[in-house]
Amino acid sequence: MKTIKGPAIFLAQFLGDKPPFDTLDEICKWSAGLGFKGVQIPSWATSYFDLQKAAESKTYADEIKGLVNSHGLEITELSTHLQGQLVAVNPAYDDLFDAFAPAEVHKNPKARQEWAVQQLKYAAKASQNLGLNAHATFSGALLWPMVYPWPQRPAGVVETGFKELAKRWLPILDVFEDNGVDVCYEVHPGEDLHDGISYEMFLKGVNNHKRANLLYDPSHFVLQCLDYLEYIDIYHERIKAFHVKDAEFNPTGRQGVYGGYQNWVERAGRFRSLGDGQVDFKSVFSKMAQYDFGGWAVMEWECALKHPEDGAREGAVFIKDHIIRVTEKAFDDFAAAGSDEAFNRKLLGID
């Protein structure tokens, strides 16, 4: 069995223009000081990291890796959550999602998608250059405006949407295969891959591609009232990345899963700092150990109440205390009788 690596931190929610959050060097120093052992790097943060350069220059990739290592840290994965979102965008969201792309492709959905696809391809090669074997991203969504079928969805529209989603992702997945890196989709509301069934539909569309894998984040399943522990039982062979994020769901007579258009503080379902929500992390880490997950436990901080620096400081300790150092022997080895094949056959009455 393998012991989960960590604690690590996803840097996206901590980026800023003031020290220690304004450079990769300073934020790594800060992370290490809190006890983190790894960092997940958001690849859209160009002031921290040049994705194209990391793909095209092994020297640059080695420099980035060396900088991170100089603080006693490792890079866990690169993230293209924002670029992955743009691989597939329903026209209803065009104006909103333009913010995720450079200005030169705004108001041009085709050019924006082409830019996003190239970003993913850069991420595959950059990950290889950095010595990584997993990559975190979103799937994008063509169908999300139709998730709740009113008016009734036209016959075949779901099938058409997933066929197109698979068509867009297959060439990207092939590039990741060429570079020996798993694509880990964060299954998430707002994405066409938002639960197990939708992931299975996509997986069928990409012919069970070996690189079409999962980033496990139980917080999103709490808010969907989905069994996040059984999910591990079902999909553990495909789980290649892990976000440790907490959440709570407290429905009332006035609101439930959809939240009544309220802000995050007022919603029945909201994300919380680690230990402040309802996720049973003892069981989560136990199942991940049981199924031999050998990747990183990466804290993703999203909380409507607690200060991010407090959440990070507490989160490093929380993950460290939950990682199970797996045993190398059975607890009852002291009572082992010792045997060989002849003894076993005799014991069973086999001639």
Give dist(CA 113, CA 121) in Å, integer: 12
CB under 8 Å to 271, separation ≥6 — which residues? 219, 245, 246, 247, 264, 277, 302, 303, 304
Give dist(CA 31, CA 41) in Å, integer: 12
Give dist(CA 299, CA 217) in Å, integer: 10
Q: Token match 């082992």: residue?
A: 336
Give dist(CA 250, CA 271) in Å, integer: 12
Pairing of strands 269-272, 246-249: antiparallel
State pTM to two decimals: 0.95
Mapping DSSP onto H, E and C, the string for 290-326 reads HCCCCCEEEECCCCCCCCHHHHHHHHHHHHHHHCCCC
φ, ψ of residue 44 to 5 degrees: the values are: -85, -10
Q: Give the Cβ contact number of residue 209 at 10 Å.
A: 19
Asked whether residue 346 carries a pLDDT value surpassing 90, the answer given is no
Mean pLDDT across the stretch 179-195? 98
- pLDDT score recorded for residue 334: 67
- pLDDT score recorded for residue 336: 74
- At 217, the pLDDT band (50, 70, 90 cuts) reads very high
- In three-state secondary structure terms, 246 is strand
Give dist(CA 187, CA 234) in Å, integer: 14
- pLDDT score recorded for residue 335: 66
Asked whether residue 337 carries a pLDDT value surpassing 90, the answer given is no
CB-CB contact of 39 with 298 (8 Å): no
Measured between its terminal Cα atoms, the distance across the chain in Å is 36
Structure tokens at 227: 């069994």
Mean pLDDT across the stretch 75-98? 98
CB under 8 Å to 219, separation ≥6 — which residues? 243, 245, 246, 247, 271, 277, 279, 302
Asked whether residue 327 carries a pLDDT value surpassing 90, the answer given is no
Give dist(CA 186, CA 215) in Å, integer: 5
Parent domain of 62? 5-347
Asked whether residue 55 carries a pLDDT value surpassing 70, the answer given is yes
Give dist(CA 271, CA 77) in Å, integer: 22
- At 196, the pLDDT band (50, 70, 90 cuts) reads very high
φ, ψ of residue 78 to 5 degrees: the values are: -90, 155
Asked whether residue 78 carries a pLDDT value surpassing 80, the answer given is yes
**Number of domains present in the structure of the chain:** 1
- pLDDT score recorded for residue 350: 92
CATH of the domain at 119: 3.20.20.150
- Distances in Å between the Cα of 241 and the Cα atoms of 30, 182, 216 are 23, 9, 6
CB under 8 Å to 236, separation ≥6 — which residues? 287, 288, 291, 293
